[in-house]
Structure 1
Amino acid sequence: MIQPTMPSPFFILTGNEPLPLSLHGAVVAIGNFDGVHRGHRAVIGTALDEAHASGRPALALTFEPHPRAFFRPGETMFRLTPVDEKLARLAETGLDGAVVLAFDAALAALDAETFVREVLVERLHAGAVVAGFDFHFGKGRGGSPAFLREAGQLYGFDVAIVPPLLDDGAQISSSAIRAALAQGRVEQAADMLGRPFSIEAEVIHGDKRGRDLGYPTANMRLDPAIALAHGIYAVTADVDGVRHPGVASFGRRPTFDDGAPRLETFIFDFSGDLYGKTVRIAFHAHLRPELKFDSIEALVEQMDLDSAAARSALAGVRMGPIGGA
């Protein structure tokens, strides 16, 4: 059992520990929940409504690693929310806790009926289960929403299936968000997520080139699986509990070395040593694609324009201490 550093009370169950008696009979929202986006929050909101109406607790049931990573181990997977962030986002919703099942060969081998009996009934003692319209589970994805309804009648728990949440006629999904980010459409991704897409990483030493150009940057090496479009972005940087505006370049720096992708962020009106600190960068607007410049002078001139454009794009974003109203 893990007690995370996040809003409390929020219970997290991993491994084979038993569920506390106080959480028996809970309304269980089930899904992978990568991104904890607006579609996921519709499922969670339905679970919370049912829990409040019936006086029961509400839990999320999720899986790690993501099933796709288990079934396709040779492929990289762009995770919108690594596990720690996913749990923190789930905690923000008002749920009482989360159960994280290890998605391994044993779990993958369970047929749908066994999954219901052993996981939902015998381990979680679910009083109700809420899932999205496209959620499938069990060996060979044999468990459908219709199967879940039938199982609920058999084992005595209520079932609610939540229809798709649409945005301009298109379904909100983790896949749609990944596709938007891969094309640099961070504003559309933010609309589907319900917040700007963000990453958290440690600031590392770079080549100090930005300092020589008058643009000292915080450099981060990101997970290679992050498939964000290369380019220049208006961003915010959360540093030591304070949000700052900035402009960031994500890419290979074609003017200089065309090296491995790296995130370089110039934080406006900021002074201080960031090396070794963990900083969260949120992407608010895509300003332009990554370009190769013929001269340092041309690059600096464009950086001046990028900074002005980023300040304009961030004009309505609240800065300063994080938290509160």
Structure 2
Amino acid sequence: MTVIFKNSQSISQDAKGSVAALGNFDGVHRGHGYLIQSLREQYQNRPLSVVTFEPHPRQLFFKEAAPFRLTNADERNVVLEKMGVDFIFQIDFTQEFASLSAHDFVHNILHNHLGVTHIACGNCFAFGKGRSGSIEYLASETQSLGIGLTVLEPLQDGDEVISSSRIRHLLRDGHPRKAAELLGRVWSVRAIVQHGDKRGRTIGFPTANLLLGEHVEPMCGVYAVKIALPNGEMRDGVANVGYRPTFGQQNECRLEVHLFDFNQDIYGQELQVWLHHFIRSEKRFSGLDELKGQIAKDALDAKDFFSNLEIIR
């Protein structure tokens, strides 16, 4: 089981001496997995850790920007645990921390506080106030402290680097299956079921309403989805991401999920929803009858997708 240390916590002795991967790890995609696995293979007998930051630095420096995260902290940490990470050092990324010099980050945080013995990062990693800490500086300082350093070129898919920003673009452009190839798993959202306007129930398609929160907003439209209930039960379904233009101007993007063959009260419960396949773009309908007919077709399309998926497997 992975142990998570947050900013104010003392580091236990068994966590000292770890080999650590550094980065934001938003999405924990195949490139991140390559970095972590390389470190594991290099040091099989030492505890493996990740040094990461919360919130994501972009959330501090670009507060007015649209939500962009592929994973929130809890989702990220679950994936890191599945990758076999022993310890997660989750540092609070505050204005005070952002003002820390590159020297203090290496000497006070990595060496004195966390006690790491070897670190690994991508070749574009920058740190310290104003991102003043370069890879060359990191190499010099770690060598002086007896800390090993591995710097890796980013993993590529074809001619392009696998990156969180590339995956965000794929989701925003309606390509969840290609995004899944780069992530190494289907992209998902974990969120609490909110009370909605209950219109879906009146037309025979009740939905669980989820807010995307800090998650990136994928292309608005309809998706074939799988849903995990709090008890671990898995369901197929169809979901709409968007602003429900049929019902007038909406200010908030929602993920509205219809679970097939399901009629239970799940308000206030947390669901995990995987976006497997983009079916169509969001559109405005002339009224409830036209909307109802389209949702019925969308549900059939989603069922066909999952039926064919099982045949391929």
Q: Which band: TM-score by shorter chain? A: over 0.9
Return the TM-score normalized by structure 2: 0.92
Q: 1:205 to 1:17 in 2, by over 3 A?
A: closer
The separation in 2 between residues aligned to 1:105 and 1:32, in whole angstroms, is 17
Residues 1:84 and 1:224: Cα distance change in structure 2 (over 3 Å): closer
Q: CA deviation at 1:114?
A: 2.2
- Aligned partner letter, 1:194: G
2:217 equivalent to 1:227: yes
What's the offset of the Cα at 1:242?
Answer: 0.9
Normalised to the residue count of structure 1, the TM-score between the two structures is 0.89
Q: 1:107 to 1:238 in 2, by over 3 A?
A: same
Query: Counterparts of 1:201 and 1:225 in 2: how far apart (Å)?
Result: 10
Change (3 A) 1:73 1:224: closer
Aligned pair 1:102/2:92, yes or no?
yes
1:44 matched residue in structure 2: 36
**Which runs of structure 2 are paired with 1:155-234 in the superposition (5 Å)?**
155-223=145-213, 226-234=216-224
Alignment-derived partner of residue 67 in structure 1: 57
Secondary structure at the aligned position of 1:113 is classed as helix
| 1:317 Cα deviation from its structure 2 partner | 5.9
Q: 1:23 to 1:204 in 2, by over 3 A?
A: closer
Matches within 5 A, 1:51-62: 51-52=43-44, 55-62=45-52
Distance 1:315 1:257, change over 3 A: same
CA distance in 1, matches of 2:139, 2:148: 8
Q: Determine the C-alpha separation between the residues in 2 that align with 1:298 and 1:77.
A: 32
Give the Å deviation of 1:224.
Answer: 6.5
Moved more, 20-29 or 143-152: 143-152
Cα distance between partner residues in 2 of 1:250 and 1:23: 42
- The one-letter code sitting in structure 1 at the alignment partner of 2:240 is S
Within 2, Cα distance between the matches of 1:224 and 1:120? Answer: 28
2:292 to 300, 314, 321: 300
Cα RMSD (Å) of the superposition? 1.8
In the alignment, structure 1 residue 310 sits paired with structure 2 residue 302? yes
Matches of residues 69-88 of structure 1 in structure 2 within 5 Å? 69-88=59-78
Deviation readout 1:187-243 (Å, 9 max, x if unpaired): 121111111111112222222221221211112233176322110000011112111
Q: Which residue of 1 aligns with 2:255?
A: 263
Counterpart position of 1:287: 279
Give the 3 Å change call, closer, same or farther, for CA 145–315 of structure 1 in structure 2.
farther
The change in CA–CA distance for 1:143 and 1:315 in structure 2 (over 3 A counts) is farther
Instruction: Deviation per CA, 1:130-179: give whole Å up to 9, x if none.
Output: 10121111122122223222222211111111211111211111111111
- Aligned-partner Cα distance in 1 for 2:270–2:296: 27
Q: Structure 2 vs 1, CA of residues 192 and 211 (structure 1 numbering), >3 Å: closer, same or farther? A: same
Instruction: Give the equivalent residue in structure 2 for 1:20.
Output: 12
Distance 1:270 1:62 in 2: 39
Within 2, Cα distance between the matches of 1:303 and 1:225? 25
Task: Look up the equivalent residue of 1:276 and give its one-letter code.
Answer: G
Q: Could you tell me which residue of structure 1 aligns to residue 264 of structure 2?
A: 272
Residues 236 and 295 of structure 1: is their aligned pair in 2 closer, same or farther, counting only changes over 3 Å? Answer: same
Structure 2's unaligned 5+ residue stretches are: none
The count of aligned residue pairs is 308
| AA in 2 matched with 1:252 | Y
Is contact 1:39-1:172 (8 Å) kept?
yes
Decide whether the 8 Å contact of 1:131 with 1:145 is kept in 2: no
Distance in 2 between the 1:263 and 1:16 partners? 35
Partner of 1:237: 227
Q: Provide the C-alpha distance between the structure 2 equivalents of 1:224 and 1:32, rounded to a whole number of angstroms.
A: 15
Q: Contact 1:27 / 1:50 at 8 angstroms: preserved in 2? A: no
Amino acid at match of 2:8: N
